[in-house]
Amino acid sequence: MSWHVAVDGQRCIASGMCAGAAPEYFALDDDRARALADRIDPDETVLDAADSCPASAITVTEGGREIGPRP
Ligand code: SF4
């Protein structure tokens, strides 16, 4: 099952950590990051990015269930 990736632009503080750690999935624009694709094949790299986002701005869901960031 594919995953859905979203970046909350209101929460993002443009640290750039996601784009640095997972450039195939995230890009940093002027003042916020964005997901390069909202539907992706499962990849732990994206969960790691969600876990390490300092603003908890990245959400990963699978079939409507939130799986990242992990508790
Ligand atoms: S890691 Fe979080 S706060 Fe930093 S650029 Fe990415 S989404 Fe924004």
Confidence at residue 37, expressed as pLDDT on a 0 to 100 scale: 97
Does ligand 1 have an atom closer than 6 angstroms to the CB of 28?
A: yes
* Residue segments in the chain with a per-residue pLDDT below the cut of 70: none
Nearest CA to ligand 1 atom 6: 18
| pLDDT of 55 | 98
Give the domain extent around 44: 3-68
* pLDDT for res 15: 98
Q: Which atom of ligand 1 is closest in space to residue 55's alpha carbon? A: 3
The atom of ligand 1 lying closest to the CA of 28 is: 5
- CB distance 46 to 26 below 8 Å: no
**Distance in Å, CA 63 to ligand 1 centroid:** 23
Using a 6 Å cutoff on CB, does residue 55 contact ligand 1? yes
The answer, as to whether pTM is greater than 0.85, is yes
**29 vs 62: CA distance, rounded Å:** 26
Q: How many domains does the chain have?
A: 1
Residue 8 maps to which CATH number?
3.30.70.20
